[in-house]
Amino acid sequence: MTAPFRKHALALATLLALAAAPFLGFGDGFALSLLARAMILGMAAVSLSLLVGGAGLVSLGHAATMGIGAYTVVAFDAAGVSEGLIVFPAAIAAAAAYALVTGAVSLRTSGVHFIMITLAFGQMAFFTTSSFSSLGGDDGYTLYARTEWLGTRILDNRLTFHFLCLGLLALVWVGGNLLLGSRFGRVLRAARENPQRALAVGFQPYPYRLVAYVMAGAVGGLAGALLANATEFVSPALLSWTRSGELLFMVILGGVGQIGGAILGALAIVLLEESLSHLMVYWRLVFGPLLVLSVLFLPDGLVGAPLRLRAAIRFASPKRRNADA
């Protein structure tokens, strides 16, 4: 029991810290909206991590699912519908449908081709949303109001929204881990490491990958619907390929080996971006090298950092003792 606990300790601690944050001086509107953003992007990053780390599918178009979720909220808003019981399932379904159609095609390729084709689909979605003039086109769209639940404006309370995002993030994280440990997950992992072996025992990886791709898309759609509510503004920038790249970077920075890493990665990037941009104008000059260094020195990502640190200390300590002697 202790081994799996230790494996997930860092992600669990992060979730607990997020739960405590509003009561530890991060309860103001600015801090809460920043944390909400981090948690929502974290949710999308966890679903991408399921594809990258679990199934070995490096998608460079994952932001499109988030964008489709967000634009579903916008489309309903423009039509005067803001009931969550309609809007949220619709956002999830729309993103899942997009993932089903694009995945059915993309998953026939692999490696670099897969990256390129997911990028291409993502760009198609980007330009499609840019051309919706009734939804603001390039300029984006400001929501009239946040989504209601059974007619109540429950999401307007920032603290409620904080814990809704946190709860859903935790749910996605736990669900993802269960998924990877299930029969389904075992087939995915085997097909990632050795597709020939999966075939040889009788598993065609394609349907398993497609289902995983649709599931990740659905979570992306959920994240998008939440993000639209968090910012109350949606623009095509949400679907840009740099946003997909950012999600991918959150996954890699956090650690591909564990989907919980994506939570850490998302939080680290959102907070770093925010604090650096306040410190100086040319913050990207610092941000870039920091990311490069993290990849160089933390190949297992942030989740692997404690282990690496412990190993480094163990490696350094006898030397120091010898020097003293």
Partner 1 sequence: MPDPLLELRGLSKNFGALTVTSDVSLTVLPGEIHAIIGPNGAGKTTLIHQISGTLRPDRGTIRFAGQDVTALPFERRARLGLARSFQITSIVPGFTALENVALAVQARSGSSFRFLRPVANEKALNEEARAALDTVGLGRVADRGAAALSHGEKRQLELAIAIAMNPRLLLLDEPLAGAGPEETERLIGILRELRSRYGILLVEHDMQAVFALADRISVLVYGRVIVTGTVDEIRDHPEVRTAYLGEDALA
- Asked if residue 211 binds partner 1 (CB under 8 A), the reply is yes
CA–CA gap between residue 324 and residue 312 (Å, rounded): 19
CA–CA gap between residue 14 and residue 259 (Å, rounded): 13
Question: Taking CA 24 as the corner, what is the angle to CA 18 and CA 30, rounded to the nearest 5 degrees?
Answer: 75
Cβ-based nearer residue to partner 1, 64 or 216: 216
The CB-of-70 to partner 1 minimum distance in angstroms stands at 26
Find the binder of partner 1 among 109, 157, 160, 194 (CB under 8 A): 194
The CB-of-319 to partner 1 minimum distance in angstroms stands at 29
Residues 152-191 that bind partner 1 (CB under 8 A): 178-179, 181-187, 189-190
Cβ-based nearer residue to partner 1, 4 or 288: 4
- Asked if residue 193 binds partner 1 (CB under 8 A), the reply is yes
Helix/strand/coil (H, E, C) string of 124-179? Answer: HHHHHHHCCHHHCHHHCEECCCCCEECCECHHHCHHHHHHHHHHHHHHHHHHHHHH
Find the binder of partner 1 among 3, 79, 200, 281 (CB under 8 A): 200
Cβ-based nearer residue to partner 1, 197 or 310: 197
CA–CA gap between residue 99 and residue 88 (Å, rounded): 17
- Asked if residue 1 binds partner 1 (CB under 8 A), the reply is no
The CB-of-185 to partner 1 minimum distance in angstroms stands at 7
Find the binder of partner 1 among 79, 150, 201, 313 (CB under 8 A): 201
What is the three-class DSSP state of 109? coil
Question: Taking CA 217 as the corner, what is the angle to CA 16 and CA 153, rounded to the nearest 5 degrees?
Answer: 60
The CB-of-178 to partner 1 minimum distance in angstroms stands at 5
Tally of CB atoms within 10 A around 278: 8
CA–CA gap between residue 259 and residue 83 (Å, rounded): 31
The CB-of-30 to partner 1 minimum distance in angstroms stands at 38
Cβ-based nearer residue to partner 1, 126 or 208: 208
Cβ-based nearer residue to partner 1, 156 or 193: 193
- Asked if residue 210 binds partner 1 (CB under 8 A), the reply is no
Cβ-based nearer residue to partner 1, 22 or 53: 53
CA–CA gap between residue 53 and residue 56 (Å, rounded): 6
- Asked if residue 100 binds partner 1 (CB under 8 A), the reply is no
Tell me the one-letter amino acid at 59: S
Q: Which stretch binds partner 1 (CB under 8 A): 18-26, 141-149, 204-212, 290-298?
A: 204-212
Tell me the one-letter amino acid at 115: I
Q: Is the distance from CB of 56 to CB of 243 less than 8 angstroms?
A: no
Which residues contact partner 1 by CB under 8 A?
Answer: 178-179, 181-187, 189-190, 193-194, 196-204, 208, 211
